[in-house]
Amino acid sequence: MAGRNIEKMASIDAQLRQLAPAKVSEDDKLIEYDALLLDRFLDILQDLHGEDLRETVQELYELSAEYEGKREPKKLEELGKVLTSLDAGDSIVISKAFSHMLNLANLAEEVQIAYRRRIKKLKKGDFVDESSAATESDIEETFKRLVSDLGKSPEEIFDALKNQTVDLVLTAHPTQSVRRSLLQKHGRIRDCLAQLYAKDITPDDKQELDESLQREIQAAFRTDEIRRTPPTPQDEMRAGMSYFHETIWNGVPKFLRRVDTALKNIGIDERVPYNAPLIQFSSWMGGDRDGNPRVTPEVTRDVCLLARMMAANLYYNQIENLMFELSMWRCTDEFRAKADEIHRNSRKDAAKHYIEFWKTIPPTEPYRVILGDVRDKLYHTRERSRQLLSNGISDIPEEATFTNVEQFLEPLELCYRSLCSCGDRPIADGTLLDFLRQVSTFGLSLVRLDIRQESERHTDVLDAITKHLDGSSYREWSEERRQEWLLSELSGKRPLFGPDLPKTEEIADVLDTFKVISELPSDCFGAYIISMATSPSDVLAVELLQRECHVKTPLRVVPLFEKLADLEAAPAAVSRLFSLDWYKNRINGKQEVMIGYSDSGKDAGRLSAAWELYKAQEELVKVAKKYGVKLTMFHGRGGTVGRGGGPTHLAILSQPPDTVNGSLRVTVQGEVIEQSFGEEHLCFRTLQRFTAATLEHGMNPPVSPKPEWRALLDAMAVVATEEYRCVVFQEPRFVEYFRL
Which region among 22-26, 377-381, 416-420 has the lowest average model confidence (pLDDT)?
A: 22-26
457 part of a folded domain: yes
In the set 96, 144, 584, 602, the catalytic residue is 602
The answer to pTM > 0.75 is yes
The 10s digit of each residue's pLDDT in 672-707 is 888 889 888 889 999 999 999 999 999 999 989 999
Q: Output the pLDDT for position 235.
A: 80
Go through 154-170 and write b for each residue having 16 or more CB atoms within 10 A of its CB, e for each that does not: beebbebbbebebbbbb
Over residues 211-236, the mean pLDDT reads 85
Give me the pLDDT at residue 234, please.
80
Q: Which of 397, 432, 467 is the last residue of a domain?
A: 432
Res. 49 pLDDT band, cuts 50 70 90: very high
- Please give the average per-residue pLDDT across 40-47, as a whole number: 92
Average pLDDT over residues 334-342: 89
pLDDT given at position 182: 84
Cα angle for residues 92, 93, 96 (degrees, 5° grid): 85
Q: What is the mean pLDDT of residues 142-169?
A: 94
Q: Which residues, 6+ apart, have CB-to-CB distance to 30 below 8 Å? A: 17, 24, 108, 109, 112
> Residue 579 above 90 pLDDT?
yes
What is the C-alpha separation between 26 and 29, in angstroms, rounded? 9
The region of weakest confidence among 56-60, 293-297, 642-646 is 642-646
Indicate if the pLDDT at residue 354 is higher than 50.
no
| Mean pLDDT value of segment 361-379 | 86
Q: What is the pLDDT of residues 550-563, one digit of tens each?
A: 999 999 999 999 88
Residues 405 and 463 occupy one common structural domain:
no
CA 192 to chain centre: 26
Confidence of residue 308 (pLDDT cuts 50, 70, 90): very high
Last residue of a domain, one of 432, 462, 478: 432
At residue 355, does pLDDT exceed 50?
no
* One domain for residues 366 and 494: no
568 and 508 in one domain? yes
Alpha-helical runs (H) found in 471-594:
479-491, 505-519, 536-548, 564-578, 581-587
pLDDT at 600: 82
Q: How far apart are CA 601 and CA 409, in angstroms?
A: 44
Q: Give the separation between CA 309 and CA 521, rounded to whole angstroms.
A: 13
Least confident span in 30-34, 370-374, 413-417: 30-34
Q: Residue 515: is it exposed, middle or buried by C-beta count within 10 angstroms (0-12/13-18/19+)?
A: middle
Give me the residues paired with residue 663 across strands.
Answer: 165
The CATH number of the domain where 349 resides is what?
Answer: 1.20.1440.90
- If asked whether residues 604 and 697 sit together in one domain, one would say yes
pLDDT of res. 489: 95
Do 545 and 593 sit in the same domain of this protein? yes
Residue 127 has pLDDT above 60, yes or no: no
| Average pLDDT estimate for 269-276 | 94
Which of the residues 75, 173, 458, 615 is marked catalytic?
173
Nearest to 39 by CA among 288, 172, 214: 214
The predicted pLDDT at position 148 comes to 92
Arithmetic mean of pLDDT, 609-620: 93
Q: How far apart are CA 661 and CA 567, in angstroms?
A: 21
Q: Is residue 658 part of a domain?
A: yes
pLDDT of residue 224: 83
522/154 Cα distance (integer angstroms) = 37
- pLDDT for 516 equals 97
Same domain for 400 and 474, yes or no, is: no
Interval 653-661 mean pLDDT: 90
Look at residue 297 and tell me whether its pLDDT is greater than 70.
yes
- Calculate helix-pair angle for 536-548, 455-470, nearest 10 degrees: 60
Which residue among 371, 401, 432 closes a domain? 432
Residue 126's pLDDT is: 42
Q: Are residues 643 and 689 in the same domain?
A: yes
Q: What is the pLDDT of residue 628?
A: 95
Note whether residue 679 is domain-resident. yes
Is 96 one of the annotated active-site residues of the chain?
no
DSSP state of 402: -
Rounded CA-CA distance 300/307 in Å is 11
More confident residue, 109 or 623: 623
C-alpha pair distances (Å), 326 with each of 151, 155, 315, 414, 415: 43, 33, 16, 13, 9
Residue 560 lies in a domain: yes
Q: What percent of the chain lies above the pLDDT cut of 70? A: 89
Beta-bridge mates of residue 281: 168
Output the pLDDT for position 137: 66
Looking at the structure, do residues 566 and 666 belong to the same domain, yes or no?
yes
The amino acid at 291: G
Residues 683 and 545 in one domain: yes
- Examine the pLDDT at 12 and tell me if it is beyond 50: no
Each residue of 519-550: pLDDT tens digit? 999 999 999 999 989 999 999 999 999 999 99
Question: How many domains does the structure of the chain reveal?
Answer: 2
- Is the pLDDT confidence value at 471 over 80? yes
- Model confidence pLDDT, tens digit, residues 615-637: 999 999 999 999 999 999 999 88
151-165, 376-390, 512-526, 595-609, range with the lowest pLDDT: 595-609
**What's the mean pLDDT in 111-119?**
76
- Above 50 in pLDDT, residue 396? yes
Residue range(s) defining the domain that contains residue 724:
453-739
Active site residue 458: no
The mean pLDDT value of the chain amounts to 87
pLDDT confidence tier of residue 129, bands split at 50, 70 and 90: very low
Query: Do the domain assignments include residue 489?
Result: yes
Q: Which domain CATH number covers 712?
A: 3.20.20
- Same domain, yes or no, for 588 and 732? yes
Residue 212 domain flag:
no
416 with 496, same domain: the answer is no
Both 423 and 476 in one domain: the answer is no
- Within a domain: residue 32? no
Q: How far apart are the first and last CA of the chain?
A: 43
Domain membership of residue 416 (yes or no) is yes
Distance (Å, rounded) from C-alpha 84 to C-alpha 225? 25
Between residues 280 and 70, the one the model is more confident about: 280
Measured CA to CA in angstroms, residue 300 lies from 100, 296, 307, 343, 513 at distances of 37, 6, 11, 39, 8
